[in-house]
């Protein structure tokens, strides 16, 4: 139910997220925002800046450094009838709260036969690219896609970030909302040695004022093409676009937007059309979400495939501080896979 929107401005992703929170806190007095440093200071990435001033300390507040407490409290608040939007400062720190997410939030509805729900949206910056070393760079999304009852959402543009976050907050299920921090302030082509383009000049940064939604479970075709289907999300979309542009490859690039629920239809249709499939994510390879995607494509599109499915991922090592850019699935790694697919 998209309402009429008025002005369109160009924002960066962090501003779009901030706006989504403003919009939802205004519309629904049950929306509460909390986490380490999110109140007075507005969060270390400033995603919650201004919210406490606008909505008061009862709806926007700082918390103890206790992720288990943050998510546990959010489960209780959700059961009460609030719509908590807790922030975990970095996705790397979600683990102390894992039991609350996996054993409690994810199964509350199931185990109470719908008597209780946990409509929380856990926001957290994830992924590398800011020289955060191994404890500020991880991409743990596959952990959550493995848990029945959780939804996992990852935006790739400011427009989507705002619309998807609004949908996530309105959703009655627990949602993990991972924000690719590398592209908070501008898209990233994957070249560490080139300046980052600001969002102001990039598509996807036109963000309408007020309320609008981007539905969960619906992928976005970033560009149509015939040569191959590139399936990715978050930062990796921008890298894929840069590579295909440079190589002049007419690829169909699909931004999944949500991993669970997955828009398999869009993926299937595309792979059946192109006959080739490249899957990209930044997370470690083994047991990554790419494996699931690859299995799905194989199950549904086997007779249409003209080449083996390609997976480009981070390496199976922790994120190394000084070699961060070598770990990152950059244009060379993606370029090689594209070449292999083109030759096949």
Footprint of another protein on this chain (CB under 8 A)? 36-37, 39-41, 44, 57-58, 61-69, 92-93, 95-96, 131-136, 285-286, 315-318, 320-323, 326-327, 330, 332-333, 335-336
Helical pair 289-301 and 264-274, crossing angle rounded to 10 deg = 60
> Based on CB atoms, which residue is closest to ligand TPP, 94 or 253?
94
Question: CA 244, CA 293: separation in Å to the nearest integer?
Answer: 21
- Cα separation, 136 vs 131, whole angstroms: 8
Tell me which stretch binds ligand TPP (CB under 6 A): 88-96, 122-130, 179-187, 203-211: 88-96
Asked if 93 is part of the footprint of ligand TPP (rule: CB under 6 A), the reply reads yes
Instruction: Write down the catalytic residue from 136, 141, 238, 324.
Output: 136
Cβ atoms < 10 Å from Cβ of 172: 12
Could you tell which of ligand TPP, another protein, none binds residue 330, using a CB distance below 5 to 8 A set by kind?
another protein
Token couple for 123: 């926001």
Shortest Å distance, C-beta 44 to ligand TPP: 8
Report if residue 41 touches ligand TPP, rule: CB under 6 A.
no
Nearer to ligand TPP, 20 or 94 (CB): 94
- Verify binding: residue 104, ligand TPP, rule CB under 6 A: no
Pair 101, 144: CB distance under 8 Å: yes
Is position 87 an interface residue for ligand TPP (rule: CB under 6 A)? no
Decide: 51 and 42 in contact? Cβ < 8 Å. Answer: yes
The DSSP code sequence of 160-174 is HHHHHHHHHHH-SS-
Binding ligand TPP (rule: CB under 6 A), the pick from 65, 200, 332, 344 is 65
H or E element, residue 83: strand 83-87
Asked if 210 touches ligand TPP (CB under 6 A), the answer is no
d(CA 245, CA 332): 13
- 41/110 with CB nearer another protein: 41
Report the residue from 14, 18, 20, 36 that binds ligand TPP according to the rule CB under 6 A: 36
- Cα–chain-centroid distance for residue 104? 22
CA distance 207 to 198: 15
Interacting residue ranges for ligand TPP, rule: CB under 6 A = 36, 65, 67, 89, 93, 96
Catalytic site positions: 67, 136
């Amino acid at each position: 139910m998209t309402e009429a929107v008025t002005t369109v401005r160009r924002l960066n992703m962090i501003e779009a997220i901030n706006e989504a929170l403003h919009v939802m806190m205004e519309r629904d007095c049950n929306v509460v925002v909390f986490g380490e440093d999110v109140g007075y200071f507005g969060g270390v990435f400033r995603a919650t800046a201004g919210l406490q001033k606008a909505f008061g300390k009862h709806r926007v507040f700082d918390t103890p450094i206790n992720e288990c407490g943050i998510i546990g409290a959010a489960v209780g608040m959700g059961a009460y009838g609030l719509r908590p939007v807790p922030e975990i400062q970095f996705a790397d720190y979600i683990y102390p709260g894992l039991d609350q997410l996996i054993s409690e939030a994810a199964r509350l509805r199931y185990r109470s036969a719908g008597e209780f729900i946990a409509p929380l949206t856990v926001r957290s910056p994830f992924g590398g690219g800011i020289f955060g070393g191994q404890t500020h760079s991880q991409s743990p999304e596959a952990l959550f896609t493995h848990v029945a009852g959780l939804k996992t959402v990852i935006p790739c543009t400011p427009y989507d970030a705002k619309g998807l976050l609004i949908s996530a907050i309105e959703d009655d299920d627990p949602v993990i909302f991972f924000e690719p921090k590398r592209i908070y302030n501008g898209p990233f082509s994957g070249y560490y040695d080139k300046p980052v383009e600001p969002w102001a000049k990039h598509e996807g940064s036109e963000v309408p004022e007020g309320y609008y939604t981007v539905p969960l479970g619906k992928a976005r075709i970033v560009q149509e093409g015939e040569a191959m289907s590139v399936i990715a999300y978050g930062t990796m979309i921008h890298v894929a676009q840069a590579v295909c542009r440079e190589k002049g490859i007419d690829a169909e690039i699909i931004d999944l937007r949500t991993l669970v629920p997955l828009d398999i239809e869009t993926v299937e249709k595309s792979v059946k059309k192109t006959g080739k499939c490249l899957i990209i994510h930044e997370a470690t390879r083994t047991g990554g979400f790419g494996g699931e995607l690859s299995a799905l494509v194989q199950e549904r599109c086997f007779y249409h495939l003209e080449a083996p499915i390609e997976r480009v991922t981070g390496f199976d090592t922790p994120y190394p501080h000084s070699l961060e850019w070598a770990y990152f699935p950059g244009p060379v790694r993606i370029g090689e896979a594209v070449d292999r697919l083109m030759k096949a």
